[in-house]
Structure 1
Amino acid sequence: MIGYYVHHHGVGHLTRARSVARALAEPVTVLSSRPRPSDIAPFAGWITLPLDTPDDGEAPDDPTAHGVVHWAPASVRGMTDRMAALARFVDDHRPRCVVVDVSVEVAMFVRLMGVRVVVFAMPGERTDAPHQLAYRVADRIVAPWSASVYRPEWLREFEDRTVYAGSISAHADRARAGTDRDPTSVVVLAGAGGSVLTPEYLARAGAATPTRTWRGVGVPGTPWVDDVWPLLTDAGVVVTHGGQNAVADVAASGAPAVVVAESRPHGEQLATTRALGAAGLAISLESWPDPDRWPEILERAGALSGDIRARTEVDGAARRAAAAIEDVWA
């Protein structure tokens, strides 16, 4: 049995966990504060953890434990119940390891229970004491990106335990839906973790590029799309936020890409966006531009020549992450 902690913010951590779990031979039980989905496949089990927030909007008491961790408020019932649920899981199942994506506190807690820990790294500036603590105790660190594209200096201290798995996409094994791209189609991916994009912005971008057709996916106020893969493989250009799963999916499709950094803690998306731009794999923007700039930006995207799928190492990435996990007890 493998325990797999999935952070509840956004949908990317869960999507990545599904891809990795499918590549693992051992059964996987999810540990998360996310609501249990109706279909938990490919997981063997799902344990819903209590939220670790104070009741009634009260201010948290010493939430960082004097700067040692990111979030461990004292005298919060949910925090105590959360850790008790983790302890029961470890006691009941004696997992081979627990994969943590991502939480410094969960990584530390299960390691102190004598369980091996695999930690997923995140892009951005992770030199703060809590992140460094999690990486120090990890038996293995999985960086879900290509080392040839992004190799942060702060991770080099732990290179002997780090596996650069490549960008993990849920669509890595899917074929293209069509044969030719529509050069007039622009698909825009907004992040489930929060975005400043609006339908009004897309309308203004469309007005600035009258020969193009813009379609927003995940933008508040736009229709829901269950399967974005046909859109990605058909689009002449894909404009995406800099989240890891979105970037991986766009890379898997091979579409000419414009990557825009949304505001995230520790500069997560900014680091990814800059790395892709520096590698010549995407047009990188550090904020959403004035709509009048889009004609020039789209022209530059269409001229990109780098093989984004090959350089981000999408093919086999989930399996390499699974192998890094399995190597912990081999």
Structure 2
Amino acid sequence: MTRGIGWYVHHQGAGHLQRARAVAAALPRPCTLIGTLAAFDTSGLDVLDLPDDRPLGGSEFDGRDGEAERPEALHYAPLNHPGVRARMARIAEWVGRTDPALIVVDVSVEIALLARLLSVPTLVVRLAGTRTDRPHCEAFRSATRLLAPFPEALDGAGVPDWVRAKTHYAGFLGAPAQAAAEASDAIVVVFGRGGAGGDVADLAAAARAVPDRPWHVLGPVSGSGQIPKNLHLHGWVDDVEARIARAALLVGGGGDGLVALAAGQGKRFLCLPEARAYGEQTEKAEALHRLGAAIAHPGWPTAEAWPGLVRAGLALDPSVIAGLHRPSAIPDCAAMIEGLVRQLGRA
């Protein structure tokens, strides 16, 4: 009987699930997605759903557990939390029952270390940003291999050599490239699930500052105010890729999913990195800017800044960001995982 693998999916944003789904479909062996996934569409997938581990009382989750002390190898280990206790027990039971060949961890220091304690090899996903703190380094040390879901050209300068040597740079594991579409003159702004979303007043000011172009906004937007005629708020849509394909300029954060779409479609890209732990989006945006693959601007621009930013974005050579896209990234990543499993002698 072919041993399966597990793939732990973090519940912040949709990008973790998106790449897990894509790579799992290309694997030649069973794959169980593990995580707090009730809020996501997991139809057709084998899922081990876990209780929520976010702070009790409904407070906003910022990755901190509020404990005065915790082991230095951990990021999040709240005491007396029934959800944390139940999810760890459920993972341990699943491991004992299914004997997985490997667990991919995207992302959690605690799950990576739990898998090691359960004697299961791990492939730990390493996101962008400065992750040289002790918990991250211990998770990296515990892993059999590391997986970076971005091109090596976007890696940070401060990454230790031993971490680089252990890393497989998979490239973008997002949506596949779209067939070329006739671009319009539109600016398309995208907000994802993992951030704060857009603000009506800010978007209206931007559209008024560049009145000769239609603005189409995809994703969550809050607030109120008068909306100019060239601003169109669409909310959640099912055809994000098709709408981006027609954009003259793509505007959005530095999350893996949107950057992957920009590269896959060769879109001129104005990257507005959102605040994330360890500078994840900021460092990625800065790398894109250095390469000439995007224009980067920290935070939402003022109304006065928009005309210049739009001109700079439209002047970009789209072949630069397109060159970061590798069409075979997903099947290549699946082949690497299969090769790793066979190398471990657990096929």
Please, what TM-score do these two structures have when normalized by structure 1?
0.92
Corresponding position: 1:142 with 2:147? yes
* 1:298 partner SS: helix
Partner of 2:186: 185
Which of 299, 302, 307 is equivalent to 2:311? Answer: 299
Partner of 1:208: 209
Q: 1:322–1:15: structure 2 CA closer, same or farther, 3 Å change rule?
A: same
- Relative to structure 2, which stretch is displaced further, 129-138 or 212-221? 212-221
Conservation of the 8 A alpha-carbon contact between 1:121 and 1:141: yes
Per-residue CA distance 1:215-241 (angstroms, 9 max, x = gap): 111132543211111111111000011
Corresponding position: 1:218 with 2:222? no
Partner of 1:112: 117
**Structure 2 unpaired stretches of 5+:** 223-232, 343-347
Partner of 1:228: 240
* 1:215 partner SS: strand
> Offset at 1:53?
4.1
* 2:122 partner SS: strand
> Offset at 1:206?
1.0
Per-residue CA distance 1:261-309 (angstroms, 9 max, x = gap): 1111111110111010011000011111102211111111111125245
> Offset at 1:214?
0.5
Q: 1:271–1:151: structure 2 CA closer, same or farther, 3 Å change rule?
A: closer
> Offset at 1:36?
6.2
Corresponding position: 1:175 with 2:187? no
In 1, distance between residues paired with 2:137 and 2:220? 35
Conservation of the 8 A alpha-carbon contact between 1:145 and 1:313: no
Which of 235, 246, 260 is equivalent to 2:272? Answer: 260
Alignment of 1:34-49 (within 5 A): 34-35=37-38, 37=40, 39-41=42-44, 43=45, 45-49=46-50
- Aligned partner letter, 1:81: A
Partner of 1:33: 36
Alignment of 1:311-326 (within 5 A): 311-326=323-338
Equivalenced residue count is 324
Corresponding position: 1:65 with 2:55? no
> Offset at 1:24?
1.1
> Offset at 1:103?
0.4
In 2, distance between residues paired with 1:243 and 1:91? 35
- Relative to structure 2, which stretch is displaced further, 86-95 or 307-316? 307-316
Corresponding position: 1:272 with 2:265? no
Q: 1:125–1:151: structure 2 CA closer, same or farther, 3 Å change rule?
A: closer
Partner of 2:228: none
Per-residue CA distance 1:182-220 (angstroms, 9 max, x = gap): 1x2000011211235212211111111111110111132
In 1, distance between residues paired with 2:203 and 2:48? 40
Q: 1:155–1:200: structure 2 CA closer, same or farther, 3 Å change rule?
A: same
Partner of 2:296: 284
* 1:312 partner SS: coil
- Relative to structure 2, which stretch is displaced further, 288-297 or 214-223? 214-223
Partner of 1:20: 23
Q: What percentage of residue pairs aligned between the two structures are identical?
A: 35
Partner of 2:229: none
Q: 1:202–1:61: structure 2 CA closer, same or farther, 3 Å change rule?
A: closer
Alignment of 1:87-106 (within 5 A): 87-106=92-111
Q: 1:94–1:152: structure 2 CA closer, same or farther, 3 Å change rule?
A: farther
Corresponding position: 1:198 with 2:202? no
> Offset at 1:313?
2.9
- Aligned partner letter, 2:211: P
> Offset at 1:71?
0.7
- Relative to structure 2, which stretch is displaced further, 54-63 or 71-80? 54-63
Conservation of the 8 A alpha-carbon contact between 1:149 and 1:311: no
> Offset at 1:40?
2.6
- Aligned partner letter, 1:175: A
In 2, distance between residues paired with 1:76 and 1:60? 10
Conservation of the 8 A alpha-carbon contact between 2:198 and 2:221: yes
Q: 1:237–1:56: structure 2 CA closer, same or farther, 3 Å change rule?
A: closer
Conservation of the 8 A alpha-carbon contact between 2:140 and 2:146: yes
- Relative to structure 2, which stretch is displaced further, 309-318 or 247-256? 309-318
In 1, distance between residues paired with 2:58 and 2:189? 36
Corresponding position: 1:160 with 2:165? yes
> Offset at 1:54?
5.2
- Aligned partner letter, 1:6: V
Conservation of the 8 A alpha-carbon contact between 1:188 and 1:215: yes
In 1, distance between residues paired with 2:195 and 2:33? 24
Q: 1:37–1:193: structure 2 CA closer, same or farther, 3 Å change rule?
A: closer
Say what the alpha-carbon RMSD is for the aligned residues: 2.1
In 1, distance between residues paired with 2:8 and 2:293? 32
